[in-house]
Amino acid sequence: MFPSARLEFSNGFGRIAEAVARQFPRDIDGFARFVRAQAELDPYHAGEPRESGREFLARFVADPLLVEMLLCPILFYGSAREDDIDGYQLVILFRSIFQEGFARPEGGIRRLLDLLVKRYRALGGELRMRAGVQEIQVEPAGSRRWRSPAAERRPRRSDGSRSSRRSRSSIVRSPRSATTRR
């Protein structure tokens, strides 16, 4: 993608910093200023920085190629803007990708999801896959119910209730013991 330069990064921030110093020696000080500036921001306060991510990064890094190379994995991850990202999202994703590093749960993501589903069901939640949600009903005490067209198509029992046969799963009932905080 960038034939004239190469930046390597891993789960350790030192590798990307060394690559910037090696490939873009005139921009290492600007890169260091950018790293310090983004570290001072609260990434969960939408609107800081106010300019686009590209503009924010370009305030510190002069070489347009380095700007593009730093934005590439961030934009690949995703952004609502075409060819750019909101400044605060840049801060969040820069930290996540370059400073905190990627991780893969031991045993893969399936194992983690299975644990979450098991805990959800233990709390009384019911999980249905591939079933649309028609309505979300908020009930007293903060519990929620989802009305699903698929649930209404389930066959009725002789007592008039719907069969408990489940399609492959959408959330239908939230756990009773879970609380919602606002």
Residue 66 to residue 61: CA distance in whole angstroms: 7
User: Rounded distance, CA 86 to CA 135, Å?
Assistant: 32
Q: What is the mean pLDDT of residues 90-108?
A: 82
- Nearest to residue 172, comparing CAs of 181, 182, 162? 162
Higher pLDDT, 67 or 168: 67
Q: In this structure, are residues 128 and 168 in contact, taking their beta carbons and an 8 Å threshold? A: yes
Supply the pLDDT for residue 117: 92
Domains of the chain by residue range: 13-100, 109-173
* Summary mean pLDDT of the chain: 79
pLDDT at 76: 84
* pTM for the whole structure: 0.57
Three-class SS state of 23: helix
Answer for the pair 18, 31: CB distance below 8 angstroms, yes or no. Answer: no
Maximal C-alpha separation, the chain: 79
State the angle between helix axes of 28-39 and 13-23 in degrees (0 to 180), rounded to the nearest 10. Answer: 150
Kindly state the average pLDDT of the residues 84-97: 89
Higher per-residue confidence, 120 vs 166: 120
pLDDT of residue 63 exceeding 90, the answer is yes
